[in-house]
Amino acid sequence: MAAYDTIVVGLGAAGATAAGTLARGGRRVLALEAAARAGGRVRTERCGDGVVELGAEWIHGQRPSRVYDLAVQNNVSLVIQDVAYDVFRSDGTKRDVKLLDELMMYCANVIEQDSDRNESVGAFVTRKFKDYLAENHPNLLSDEEFVENFLEFMNIMVNNYEASYDWNDVTAISDYEQIDGDLHTSWHRHGYKTYFEILLNTYNNGPGLPTLDIKLNTEVTSISWPRDGTGDVVVTCRGGEQYTAPNVIVTVSLGVLKERHASLFSPPLPEDKIEAINTISMGLLDKIVLSFDKAWWSRNMAFYWTVEDKKKLPEEDKWMGQIAEASTSCGTSNTITLWTYGESGKLIETLPEEVVKTKVVELLQRFMGANITVPQPTGMLRSTWYSDPFTRGSYSYDNLQMPQHPHIRETLGSPLLDSAGTPRVLFAGEATERTHYGTVHGASDSGYRAAMTLLQSSKI
């Protein structure tokens, strides 16, 4: 059996960064990944005439970002994606688009601000939106149907950004911080998988890292660590294999920790870490990707449902009313991606592929109206982040409890120390990042943090 300095559990952005950093620092590392591929919640797939992303889509900012920096250092070309969209209505018309653009832009700016009170994003935006209408469009303020339609539309758009289930569960005084630079930088036809090739030294047929062993299809079922300071950490896998090392870096998703922390760790996690796992919310954002013979659209699309049209949907099709966006891809010329979230996203994951495909084409045709005929797609891919046992969701968000627990993400990310004060079980992943949660660069930063804790420690 090989002797390892560290075992890394999970090869998403946090795990791959941690493993690569330690291996480059001369440490002998074993990386155990439950899935058949590295990448975690980054998943690049062939589709149409190129590649699409079923997970993370963009590099969200450039300075400081180890994701962006590694792409530039390795001469990987990147593309700034145009995220402007045309707005279509559920009656097949494009009426009032100029007004909708104005109001959406105003609300988008509000969302980027912090509220001066402890309230939800939904309450904050609603309050500011009505103030804006009173000052700039007073005739609309009394149009209850318009106000209801618009606020429900913004609710969906917020959930598509936060991966939240409802904007009334998202705090308006979040600790999240954007980094400088464009928020929609695409790996385009290279695919986000390139980042992992760079981290693991396989980009451009690289040989990998000599002191890093990677085992895919290897699910970890238990992590036993010596609180008294004697002996090694023992990691047991689904097939019965056991591996030992002085320490382990756990990078599984918050969704997996919520589901399995009680059976995964021995001794059990301390109460403050369990509280963190239970308090922080794990969201769901899914994608439905359709490919066509050729593009029939001109740019990204927003779907503006009226409440009345939603009510007319059959009960089994209510999920269609929660789809409000279709985006183009920089990785292909002939695919579009529809975004789903929350309870509707969970349901869509369980529906037969042909049902989803048929209904989504019906949705597109409804919004395009009589002037555009939506052709039959040549293929479909979709994500299943909730039903995937190795993710159980897409990424975390700051719920209404978070302002009362300002350091709870740090608690989640803090290492477990033995009686001698030596870190034995370390934690990384986007949910452990207070200001950059929900992003690849945040996850990667957390993996680097955990690796440097070990590299700078006198004992490993």
Helix axes 121-136, 97-111, angle to 10 degrees: 130
User: What pLDDT was estimated at residue 96?
Assistant: 67
User: CA-CA distance, 440 to 13, in Å (whole number)?
Assistant: 6
d(CA 27, CA 166): 44
Q: For tokens 């690796």, what's the residue? A: 451
pTM of the model: 0.96
Yes or no: say if 143 and 404 are a contact pair by the CB < 8 Å rule.
Answer: no
**Distance between CA atoms of residues 154 and 139, nearest Å:** 20
Q: Residue 449 and residue 410: Cα distance in Å, rounded?
A: 12
One-letter-per-residue 3-state SS of the chain? CCCCCEEEECCCHHHHHHHHHHHHCCCCEEEECCCCCCCCCCCEEEECCEEEECCCCCECCCECCHHHHHHHHCCCCCEECCCCEEEEECCCCCCCHHHHHHHHHHHHHHHCCCCCCCCEHHHHHHHHHHHHHHHHCHHHHCCHHHHHHHHHHHHHHHHHHHCCCCHHHEECCCCCCCCECCCCEECHHHCCHHHHHHHCCCCCCCCCCCCEEEECCCCEEEEECCCCCCCCEEEEECCCCEEEECEEEECCCHHHHHHHHHHHEECCCCHHHHHHHHHCEECCEEEEEEECCCCCCCCEEEEECCHHHHHHCCHHHHHHHHCCEEEECCCCCCEEEEEEEHHHHHHHHHCCHHHHHHHHHHHHHHHHHHHCCCCCCCEEEECCCCCCCCCCCCCEECECCHHHCCCHHHHHHCCEECCCCCEEEEECCHHHCCCCCCCHHHHHHHHHHHHHHHHCCCCC
Burial of 420 per CB tally in 10 Å (0-12, 13-18, 19+):
exposed
Beta-carbon contacts of residue 105 (< 8 Å; ≥ 6 apart): none
Work out the angle between the directed axes of helices 66-73 and 440-455 (0-180°, nearest 10): 90
Q: How many CB atoms lie within 10 A of CB 30?
A: 24
The token pair at 322 is 């929660």
Query: What distance in Å separates the CA atoms of residue 86 and residue 98, rounded to the nearest whole number?
Result: 10
185-216 in b/e form (b: 16+ CB < 10 A) is bbbbbbbbbbbbbbbbbebeeeeebebbbbee
Below-70 pLDDT ranges, the chain: 1-2, 95-96, 458-460
Nearest CA among 9, 388, 5, 447 for reference residue 218: 9
pLDDT at 270: 98
Q: How far apart are CA 310 and CA 316, in angstroms?
A: 12
pLDDT of amino acid 1: 47
Q: How far apart are CA 318 and CA 328, in angstroms?
A: 24
Residues 425 and 7: their CA atoms lie apart, in Å, by 10
d(CA 69, CA 135): 44
pLDDT at 214: 98
